Structure 1
Amino acid sequence: MALISGMPEGQYADLPNGQRMHYQDLGPRDGVVAVFLHGSGSGASGHSNFKANYPVLVEQGYRVIVPDLLGYGYSAKPTDVDYHLDLFVECIKQTLDVIGVENFTLIGNSLGGAIALRFALDYPAQTEKLVLMAPGGIEEQANYFTMPGMQMMKEVFTSADPVTPAKMRSFFETAFLVDPGCLDEQTVQERWESMQTQNPHVVKTMVVPNMEHELKNLQCPVLVFWGMNENMMPETGIMKLAKNCSNSRVILVSECGHWVMMEHAAMFNRMTLDFLANG
């Protein structure tokens, strides 16, 4: 696979289910482990979502694992599977088994947040903590597509007109962000290049069930960030998480859209480090 400008290539895990997953594994091998799970969308990858975050955890002595989800980044992009939430979870589980880590905190935004929730419900003994940024998986799937950002995504990325870097930037600034200044050209370029390697099968077959009624079964501490200018996820999710997760704290961030970890990186990093250390 051709390398994408500015997007580092790490290691690969060949999974028992036949898929190949790309990941970065950084920091001391005896460090407490944090796993970053990125969201969906054209050109998404672990590095592009969390480049302002995971190096900070490494600097603080954590072992950080940043995979590209199946269908994204440098990971395999099969066209003969349906991209159900359970498949994403299976691939993350098998990747972490291949790496040889047993216990960890999962840090996920959007689709990555839904994967983190499902993983924590299925493998509570391995999931020490959850950090979620406007996670999916807590609404009926149709409800997400009523959101203005989702409607804009459909319009931009299913149009007959080609998606240029400029069009991609405009979409991110409008649908994901309040402050366009936090989006650098390198991120736009790497996401645009990464998008060229994707196939539409991922979005066409993606199914993320509603886990709202299972939230009460979560056993680990949960930290939630939610931007008050969120255009992708219905804000009913805020109270669902706050009321149903028995050991949770929810941080509402003003002047913030879908990418709190990018738009308010310093605050996100500071509060995440405190949560990792103190719960």
Structure 2
Amino acid sequence: MSRIFSRWLPGLLLTAALPVLAQDQTQAETPEYGPELQGFEYPYTVKHFAFESQGKSLQMGYMDIAAQGKVNGRSVVLMHGKNFCGATWDSSIKALSEAGYRVIAPDQIGFCTSSKPDHYQYSFQQLATNTQQLLKALGIQKATLLGHSTGGMLATRYALQYPDQVEQLALVNPIGLEDWKALGVPYLTVDQWYERELKVTAQGIHDYQRSTYYDGRWKPEFDRWVNMYAGLAKGPGKTAVAWNSALIYDMIFTQPVYYEFKDLKVPTLLLIGTSDTTAINKNIAPPEVKAKIGHYDVLGKQVAKLIPRSTLIEFPGMGHAPQMEEPAKFHQALLGWLNQTNTVP
């Protein structure tokens, strides 16, 4: 049995063993949240940044947390992943704030507490521009970026687009360490993604994340984040949520940053849980393609060689979100690098 298949097997067995009644009950118990995640409790006060983009009046939800303790005058901007929100950075916000950093955690347009426009041309350049406008409005001229998953692709694009406004770049299990379309992964149209997103359930999210993100493991505290995603997809704005999600998946698949890692000019940290197997559309890829994608234990090392000023920190046996799996271990590594890099001219 191949390595990939052995990692997927626990999730497949779990799904097969679940009675239909149990799945229906889980779906019935899932909370429903508004189209901008109304009803879900964030760890800190959510503010909204209003701006114009592509002829539309939009608002971006964000948290702005002041530095605590020995204030160092620096700011960190947190960029969430596709199935995550600013709220999922809760432990990182606390750790960074207590270490003296001002922390900004936005929800990108199309996600979580932010607008879900009916028509929007999604690109990482556009999301980077939106974020830069937010930071400018907050008076932040230069910041450290911390991007997770899809947020890692966005943080990379931001650092390429605004190199003079980025002090340091830290990427946590970023997707896009390989170009799936170039490797033979099938393309789904936006309409196909939309149909898939309309069928999202809490059980499906749980099973996918358990098998792909956490190498078959699960912790009770992860349930909150499953409900956050599922409640948004089940709520009164579900069609708008699904449509924006479909557009975002198309952006992720068709706009790789892989070929530009070599052009990054800022000190860059790769924080990699080596058991992660995330790869867009892996489930519909041919067996020979599926077997060669999503190997973060290999990808982290490969991409570290492409980035000129890179540092690689691996978390053996950890999955897609080491900052959530083992917060203390993760933040010790992150803060150690941030402080060390800050002392280098």
TM-score by length of 2: 0.70
Native 8 Å contact 2:179 2:258 kept in 1? no
Unaligned 5+ runs, structure 1:
148-153
Instruction: Go from structure 1 to structure 2 and tell me whether the alpha carbon gap of 1:256 and 1:80 turns closer, same or farther (over 3 Å shift).
Output: same
1:173 to 200, 205, 210: 210
1:186 to 195, 218, 224: 224
Which deviates more, 129-138 or 22-31? Answer: 22-31
Indicate the residue corresponding to 1:6 in structure 2: 41
Any idea what SS the aligned residue of 2:41 has? coil
Q: How does 1:233-252 map to 2 (within 5 A)?
A: 233=279, 234-235=294-295, 237-252=299-314
Indicate the residue corresponding to 2:75 in structure 1: 33
Native 8 Å contact 2:273 2:314 kept in 1? yes
Q: How does 1:103-252 map to 2 (within 5 A)?
A: 103-142=142-181, 146=185, 158=196, 163-178=200-215, 179-181=217-219, 183-196=221-234, 197=237, 199-205=241-247, 206-208=250-252, 209-233=255-279, 234-235=294-295, 237-252=299-314
Any idea what SS the aligned residue of 2:313 has? strand
Give, as a single letter, the amino acid of the residue that structure 2 aligns with 1:112.
Answer: G
Instruction: Go from structure 1 to structure 2 and tell me whether the alpha carbon gap of 1:159 and 1:242 turns closer, same or farther (over 3 Å shift).
Output: closer
- Shift, 1:13, TM fit: 0.7
Instruction: Go from structure 1 to structure 2 and tell me whether the alpha carbon gap of 1:144 and 1:195 turns closer, same or farther (over 3 Å shift).
Output: farther
Native 8 Å contact 2:197 2:242 kept in 1? no
Any idea what SS the aligned residue of 2:225 has? helix
Indicate the residue corresponding to 1:89 in structure 2: 128
Q: Could you list the per-position Cα deviations for residues 174-196 of structure 1 after superposition, in whole angstroms to 9, with x for gaps in the alignment?
A: 22113312644333322322333
- Shift, 1:224, TM fit: 0.4
Indicate the residue corresponding to 1:278 in structure 2: 340
- Shift, 1:271, TM fit: 1.1
Native 8 Å contact 1:36 1:107 kept in 2? yes
Any idea what SS the aligned residue of 1:4 has? coil
Indicate the residue corresponding to 2:324 in structure 1: 262
Instruction: Go from structure 1 to structure 2 and tell me whether the alpha carbon gap of 1:182 and 1:52 turns closer, same or farther (over 3 Å shift).
Output: farther
Any idea what SS the aligned residue of 1:58 has? helix
Unaligned 5+ runs, structure 2:
1-35, 187-191, 280-293
CA distance in 2, matches of 1:278, 1:121: 23
Any idea what SS the aligned residue of 1:34 has? strand
Native 8 Å contact 2:197 2:246 kept in 1? no
Indicate the residue corresponding to 1:63 in structure 2: 102
- Shift, 1:132, TM fit: 0.3
Give, as a single letter, the amino acid of the residue that structure 2 aligns with 1:4.
Answer: G
Instruction: Go from structure 1 to structure 2 and tell me whether the alpha carbon gap of 1:145 and 1:265 turns closer, same or farther (over 3 Å shift).
Output: farther
CA distance in 2, matches of 1:144, 1:202: 26
Native 8 Å contact 2:175 2:278 kept in 1? no
Native 8 Å contact 1:70 1:77 kept in 2? yes
- Shift, 1:242, TM fit: 1.1
How many residues align structurally?
269
Any idea what SS the aligned residue of 2:271 has? strand
Any idea what SS the aligned residue of 1:242 has? helix
Which deviates more, 180-189 or 56-65? Answer: 180-189
- Shift, 1:144, TM fit: 8.3
Measured on the aligned residues, the alpha-carbon RMSD in Å equals 2.7
CA distance in 2, matches of 1:243, 1:73: 34
Of Structure 1 and Structure 2, which has the larger fraction of its residues in helix?
2
TM-score by length of 1: 0.86
CA distance in 2, matches of 1:126, 1:30: 17
- Whichever of the two has the greater Rg, that structure is 2
Q: Could you list the per-position Cα deviations for residues 15-53 of structure 1 after superposition, in whole angstroms to 9, with x for gaps in the alignment?
A: 242421010000139731001100103xx31112x1221
CA distance in 2, matches of 1:269, 1:222: 16
Which deviates more, 189-198 or 56-65? Answer: 189-198
